[in-house]
Amino acid sequence: MDASPGRRGMAAAAGVGAAALGAGAGELLAALFAPSASPFAVIGGTLIDAAPTWAKDTAIAWFGTADKTALLVGIGIILLALAAAAGIAEARWSRSGVIALAVIGVAAGALALTRADAGLLSWLPSVLAGAIAAVALRMLLRSAAFAGATASPPASADRAEVRAPDAATDPSRRRFLAWAGGTALVGVAVGVAGALTKAGSAAVSTVREAIRLPRPATPAPAVPSGAALEVPGLAPLITPNRDFYRIDTALIVPTVDPADWRLRIHGMVADEVTLTWDELLALPLTERAVTLSCVSNPVGGDLVGTAVWLGYPIRELLQRAGVDADADMVLSTSADGFTAGTPLAALTDDRDALLAIGMNGEPLPLAHGFPVRMVVPGLYGYVSATKWVTDLEVTRFDRARAYWTDRGWSERGPIKLQSRIDVPRAGRAVDAGDAVIAGVAWQPGTGISGVDVQIDDGPWERAELASALSADTWVQWRMPWRAEAGEHSIRCRAIAADGTVQTDAVAAPAPDGASGWHTIDVTVS
């Protein structure tokens, strides 16, 4: 096999390109899923912690306040040298370089889990970075471009006529180097995107943490005693922000500085209205507990939660704008271009559809729409709960379409009457004897008047219903159960405040929400 410097150089370039792509992807993945676990930060942090004092002192003496940058640059150079070596090794001994890159990734992932601020996903950016680098290296070295660039010159009787190809001028080599360089450039671009994302969300997070929410002019009614049942494993009455489901189309969480935020209300109105953050905060705010659900929530699923929202009734703003009599929809748009079409009536009736700034006593978390989102009791999120909202256009359903209605989902999205069994957990073993069955039931806007439970083929029995926070929130329920050994199936159905019984007709989430009774199987022993 030809091991000319040309071939080695080409393989080294492939290693560097592949590693740059992996490292860049690792930075972006970290910015998205595990901000403290960027592969560079992990390796750098470990080195800083492990370095002897004299080394730290020397670094500070040499580089001063740029010591951390110097460290990161140093790590970068060492990783690139390792990557070049991995490329050369791979070209010689197939798989050796690929394995080396993957091992570096796994090692950095393991280091990530030892860091003080490690989370569940901390290993992910490094391991994926290694895997991406390994795959890219393999693809580059198995490409036709590499084969062409490193092909031995045809054996010729007249050796003098065959000139050793020059890496810089041979077109096939130039083509391969362009591939390797392109791979590296993509890596740099992706890494820069990751760094910008992190910097952007860090800056807006700082702004968010400094915000002191105004007191509500109309506070949420006090929690009635007996609204929260004490059953381990039952969904809490109010879902903590960190556990609240998140659904959106944003790959990168939009970072909107409140100082730059504007809401424009226009379209079929008498007077356009523009609202700034300071103006919004100065208005008399309303606080309400509301259960929000995603239309994609399957029967028994957890894409549903309840929070105490603080905001200003959208009704008041629409009134200020003066809505045309023949408008019937408001198309809301977010900073990242998502749109939802909400029936005008749901925003103008007395249900207190909110332009929300607070969630459970805090400014909205970035992922839940900071600084401002919509919350409309009774409607699925996709037609109403626009996060990072910046624009309300008063229009008509026969004139405008929204993000998900354009993709086949129903134009109207009232939340269906639903109930869920949380305890016991489906598929879990239950001890024979006194047990409890418990769950939640909801139909925001209407409210719940009862929940029935059926065990195996027995009669439907009415469960104990906790006090409701309001008609807009889910209600907890429970039922004592003498569990006898064997396999059992348990199902539940809710009864709405208007007397409607939850349907057993099974429907998939598309196009307007799942229906059917939540049924679980448990083994009692």
Ligand X SMILES: Nc1nc2c(c(=O)[nH]1)N[C@H]1C(S)=C(S)[C@@H](COP(=O)(O)O)O[C@H]1N2
Give the residues lining the site for Mo ion (CB under 5 A). 247, 294, 381-382
Burial, 251: exposed, middle or buried (Cβ in 10 Å; 0-12, 13-18, 19+)? exposed
Instruction: Determine phi and psi for 396, rounding to 5 degrees.
Output: -130, 150
Instruction: Determine phi and psi for 311, rounding to 5 degrees.
Output: -170, -170
Helix or strand (DSSP H, E) at 423:
strand 418-423
Is residue 299 part of the contact set for ligand X (CB under 6 A)? no
Of 293, 329, 287, 325, residue with least CA distance to 308: 287
Q: Which region, judged by CB under 6 A, interacts with ligand X, from 150-158, 239-247, 314-322, 425-433?
A: 239-247
Which of helix, strand or coil describes residue 16? helix
Radius of gyration of the chain (CA): 30
Q: Which region, judged by CB under 6 A, interacts with ligand X, from 3-11, 78-86, 384-392, 504-512?
A: 384-392
Bond into 511 cis (ω within 30): yes
Burial, 111: exposed, middle or buried (Cβ in 10 Å; 0-12, 13-18, 19+)? buried
Is residue 255 part of the contact set for ligand X (CB under 6 A)? no
Kindly give, in sequence order, each residue whose CB lies less than 8 Å from that of residue 435, ignoring residues fewer than 6 positions away: 424, 480, 481, 482, 483, 524
Is residue 387 part of the contact set for ligand X (CB under 6 A)? yes
Q: Which region, judged by CB under 6 A, interacts with ligand X, from 120-128, 333-341, 423-431, 465-473?
A: 333-341
Exposure of 390 in the CB half-sphere (CA atoms within 13 A): 16
- Among 185, 247, 426, 435, indicate the residue that binds ligand X (CB under 6 A): 247
- Among 245, 411, 426, 449, indicate the residue that binds ligand X (CB under 6 A): 245
Is residue 416 part of the contact set for ligand X (CB under 6 A)? no
Q: How far apart are CA 165 and CA 181, in angstroms?
A: 20
- Among 386, 390, 395, 470, indicate the residue that binds ligand X (CB under 6 A): 386
C-beta of 415: minimal distance to Mo ion in Å?
11
Q: Which is nearer to Mo ion, 128 or 383 (CB)?
A: 383
Token pair for 192 = 């820069």
Is residue 375 part of the contact set for ligand X (CB under 6 A)? no
C-beta of 337: minimal distance to ligand X in Å?
8
Is residue 246 part of the contact set for ligand X (CB under 6 A)? yes
C-beta of 498: minimal distance to Mo ion in Å?
25
- Among 126, 201, 334, 476, indicate the residue that binds ligand X (CB under 6 A): 334
Q: Which is nearer to Mo ion, 253 or 294 (CB)?
A: 294
Q: Which is nearer to Mo ion, 58 or 249 (CB)?
A: 249
Find which of ligand X, Mo ion, none residue 319 binds, CB within 5 to 8 Å per kind: none
- Among 19, 124, 317, 385, indicate the residue that binds ligand X (CB under 6 A): 385
Instruction: Determine phi and psi for 310, rounding to 5 degrees.
Output: -115, 130
Positions touching ligand X (CB under 6 A) are 244-250, 292, 294, 334, 336, 338, 368, 381-382, 385-388
